[in-house]
Amino acid sequence: MNSPILRLIYFFIIECLAYTKTREQFGKPIASFQMIQGHVVEMLSNLTAMQTMVFRLSEMQDEGILKDEHASLAKVFCTKKTRDIVSRAHEVLGGNGILLEYEVAKFVADAEAIYSYEGTKEINSLIVGRSITGFSAFV
């Protein structure tokens, strides 16, 4: 995953947060609800972890020590976290999360494309597993 994708996820989270501040339920913004705040915190935590991992990978590349298994581990982690962020955003927006006027519906498709385009979790996991164990599980 490259930094443009991480920037896109950042702006996606910002839009979701803005929605929580304007959407009212029971006479107050849903941003004031515990579960909504929990989802937003998890979304931001996931993004921060992804940014940290990608930053470290860029350092490793600059140092000339980046290996395929490092990139595969990041792909597994980041694509799973992207899907989690999208899922949480869908939860936050509720029924509006499937409407095209909100970015969540579009981003669901984008997240799935990223998940597939970056190589499947299973293949990237096999690359990392081979590195960790010394045994190839490729059939």
* 13 pLDDT more than 50: yes
Q: Which residues are catalytic?
A: 118
What pLDDT does residue 30 have?
Answer: 97
pLDDT score for 101: 82
Q: Where are the chain's structural domains?
A: 3-133
Q: What pLDDT digit, counting tens, does each position of 22-67 carry? A: 999 999 999 999 999 999 999 999 999 999 999 999 999 999 999 9
What topology is assigned to 3-133 in CATH?
A: Butyryl-CoA Dehydrogenase, subunit A; domain 3 (1.20.140)
Looking at this protein, which amino acid is placed at residue 39? Answer: H
Q: How far is CA 32 from CA 14, 23, 36, in A?
A: 16, 10, 7
pLDDT at 1 (0 to 100) = 46
Render pLDDT for 64-85 as a digit per residue (tens, 0 to 9): 999 999 999 999 999 889 889 9
pTM as predicted: 0.84
